[in-house]
Structure 1
């Protein structure tokens, strides 16, 4: 698979995951537990897909292949790291909303 295709998949999946986790916060705010769970599951699935694409690049390099570092690759990594951070924060915020409504 071409490097650019992998990069764009990482960006797409990471962006989708981030959006799902942000959506989960909004559902938590409204007390919409079922929708909240669906958003988290969707975000986690997209995050897994992004990791899978990232792993392809890591495995290629570990096998002696050359992965060309580019601004686009750095951008993709930034998206993935942000999605992971948003997930962690979203999970904490969701728990806070749950405690507030108990």
Structure 2
């Protein structure tokens, strides 16, 4: 359960920080937006590292039980990745708008 909660927590933080970056970009505060995206990337990396540890253990023969909680955690991670990708593109558009 600790592993699942780690993925959910870090992925949720990554998504929330990406949203903060979007809000900063809307206000044309691009340095602030960049800082939020850097923090979002760090949180996403933490979530991804937890997932990578699971994959490594699986490859080494240490099976992890898959349950609804694990599926939910993976869902959070994939949503955070997708959301962050979308926010990056939106920030580029906001930057172009100011030029």
Same structural fold, with TM-score higher than 0.5 when normalized by the shorter chain:
yes
CA RMSD for the aligned pairs? 0.6
Distance 1:57 1:5 in 2: 12
Partner of 1:23: 20
Question: Given the alignment, which residue of 67, 83, 86 partners 1:70?
Answer: 67
Q: Distance in 1 between matches of 2:88 and 2:52?
A: 24
Structure 2: 5+ residue runs without aligned partners? none
Runs of 4+ displaced beyond 2 Å? none
Deviation at 1:26, TM superposition (A): 0.7
User: TM-score, length-normalised on structure 1?
Assistant: 0.95
Asked whether 1:9 is paired with 2:6, we answer: yes
- Structure 1, unmatched stretches of 5+, are none
Matching of residue 41 in structure 1 with residue 61 in structure 2: no
Structure 1 residue aligned with 2:81: 84
Report the secondary structure of 2:65's partner residue.
Answer: coil
TM value normalised by structure 2: 0.97
